[in-house]
Structure 1
């Protein structure tokens, strides 16, 4: 498979555990994640920080999976939800080629988006039946 688009530049040796090189060396491997350049990552993070509504968040989750293979799971934590930071669990599943830094910045950007627009957080909680009785 020949990739004509630009690929993400490699991380400094020893700093990341993304497995970029083995991914490129394996024929037939899914290299969509390497299409996420640093500039595109900045655009993605900005988009995640400026969520409009829950449907927008779900649409972005679908696009990240379809275009890059990144699966992001978002759900309320077990127990009482007191804050957006502590009450909602955001998990980026492991993916060969996904940079360690990116794996941390995506959930942080989603949390900032939920804090910027609390209605999205309320809708997310309501989608999981946590606000049913209020």
Structure 2
């Protein structure tokens, strides 16, 4: 990696101590915006790309969210797993963040059929009808 002049050397800043701090910070995330900010900072400072996506079949638990840390030269498999585990612990402790992720992918939005039924039926719940 050091012999390649085109190699991204940012990952070499992640020492064992810095990895511990990163994992603790990921586990302590309190909001969806904080999670997005951490994802952005990890890309900027270390070149680590983390994607969190819900399953298209639906999400019943936090396990239904896919947390993927992209492979990168210099980033070991164990560190990738530890980052995923820390984020999963965060989501298990803060279900609101998991709901925000699902909502960001429009999986909580009412379907067109639900909206149509709400406009046709005056007794339908007001949360689906437009004010």
Shared fold (TM-score greater than 0.5)?
Answer: yes
Instruction: State the distance in 1 between where 2:58 and 2:49 align.
Output: 25
Residue 91 (structure 2) pairs with residue 114 (structure 1): yes
TM-score by length of 1: 0.79
Deviation (angstroms), 1:27: 2.5
Q: Which runs of 5+ in 2 are unaligned?
A: 111-127
TM-score by length of 2: 0.81
Q: Which has the larger radius of gyration?
A: 2
Aligned to 1:33: 11
Aligned to 1:66: 44
Instruction: State the distance in 2 between where 1:124 and 1:83 align.
Output: 12
Q: Which runs of 4+ in 1 moved over 3 A?
A: none
Whose RCO is larger (CA < 8 A, sep 6+)?
Answer: 1
Aligned residues: 111
Q: Provide the aligned C-alpha RMSD in A.
A: 1.2
